[in-house]
A = this chain, B = another copy of it.
Amino acid sequence: MIKRIAVLTTGGDAPGMNAAIRAVVRCAINNKLEVMGVFRGWWGLINEELKLLDHHSVSGIINLGGTILKTARCPEFQTVEGQNRAYQTLKKNSIDGLVIIGGGGSFRAAHEFYKKYKVPCIGIPASIDNDINGIDVTIGSDTAINTALAAIDNIRDTATSMERIFVVEVMGRESGYIALQVALAGGCEDAIIPERRFDLESICHDIVEGNLRGKISWIIVVAEGAGSAFDIAKKITEMTGLESRPVVLGHIQRGGRPSAFSRTQAATLGEAAVECLLQGESDKAVTIKDGKIILIDLEFAITKKKLDVDSWYNLIRVLT
């Protein structure tokens, strides 16, 4: 019987992580479990930086971006010694179960750890990139898209007023999800994503042709994994003779008040993670599919996600 669990956040922070921590803590307490918060992800397990959390420890955090438990990279956790020390911390503190709030890299580490030490663990998918296999939407993704969209809406004002071309780089190393969503929602003219070859000549051809028809403002969204806004803007200027400016949204996409969707997700998945541990589940991630909680094997979650990008891409192009 599980009596005490630990919760930690790892990988890049995502808005809604705090709401998820709050849900885990309060649902656990409601189920008579004790909960320890681990600081700085795996690092905190290795270095025994953790403390007991009560109902009040997670007050007033539901609407805050970031994570009160902090997060950090931890190369040491990839060593046998690091993992052993983490395991010792769990044993020493009588921790029977782990809730890991994070993205693909976090799930990979959790899966490896589970294989060795068999400490029950459940992952809550939180990542602005939305690149975890088997997961429709990760916590934080909706917020990041809205943040990027607000930036695009602002840029549109200048693009229209000054009749300029903008190349806007959004997050997404291996996934064009944010880029596609933002381009579709922002009425952008094109999207350059890792999943799809792009042909700058053809884009420039469109721009020049549009220019002749009188269309002189243009916003092209590029996922960071597919190219650099600086390089692309420079080439467009060279190839079209029209002024083209790069904007890199960067880390503003990571923070901020979580959206309603990111928060309700976090609440639901936090509750689900605790219940899964209580029911003896392990090595799984919780997610919502078609309105219902389902479980995904971590092993599956860490394989490459395939996004059907064509229908979105085509719609973006039809609508501009």
Q: Which residues does A use to contact B, with CB under 8 Å? A: 9, 12-13, 15, 17, 19, 22-23, 26-27, 30, 40, 60, 62-67, 70-72, 136, 142, 145-147, 149-151, 153-158, 160-163, 166, 181-182, 184-187, 245-257, 259-261, 263-264, 267-268, 271, 289-291, 315, 318-319
Contacts and interface: CB of A to CB of B under 8 A. Distances in A.
A264 B182 CA distance: 9
A115 B318 CA distance: 33
A72 B163 contact: yes
B263 A70 contact: no
B154 A315 contact: no
B261 A252 contact: no
Contact of A264 (B62, B65, B184, B261): B184
B251 A154 contact: yes
18 contacts: A12-B158, A12-B162, A27-B318, A27-B319, A62-B186, A63-B187, A65-B158, A66-B158, A142-B260, A142-B261, A150-B257, A154-B255, A155-B251, A155-B252, A158-B251, A185-B263, A245-B250, A247-B248
Contact of A260 (B162, B181, B267): B181
A291 B288 CA distance: 12
A190 to B, nearest CB: 15
Contacts of A162: 12-13, 70-72
A255 B187 contact: no
A109 B71 CA distance: 47
**Those 9 A-B pairs whose CB atoms lie nearest each other, nearest first:** A157-B255, A154-B255, A65-B157, A66-B157, A66-B161, A185-B263, A290-B290, A13-B161, A62-B187
A134 to B, nearest CB: 13
A318 B187 CA distance: 36
A291 B136 contact: yes
Contacts of A259: 146, 149, 259
B260 A251 contact: no
A163 B9 CA distance: 14
B260 A182 contact: yes
B256 A65 contact: no
A151 B267 CA distance: 20
A195 to B, nearest CB: 16
Nearest to A60: B160
A249 to B, nearest CB: 8
B315 A157 contact: no
B318 A155 contact: no
A256 B157 contact: yes
A161 B14 CA distance: 10
Contacts of A13: 157-158, 161-162
B155 A255 contact: yes
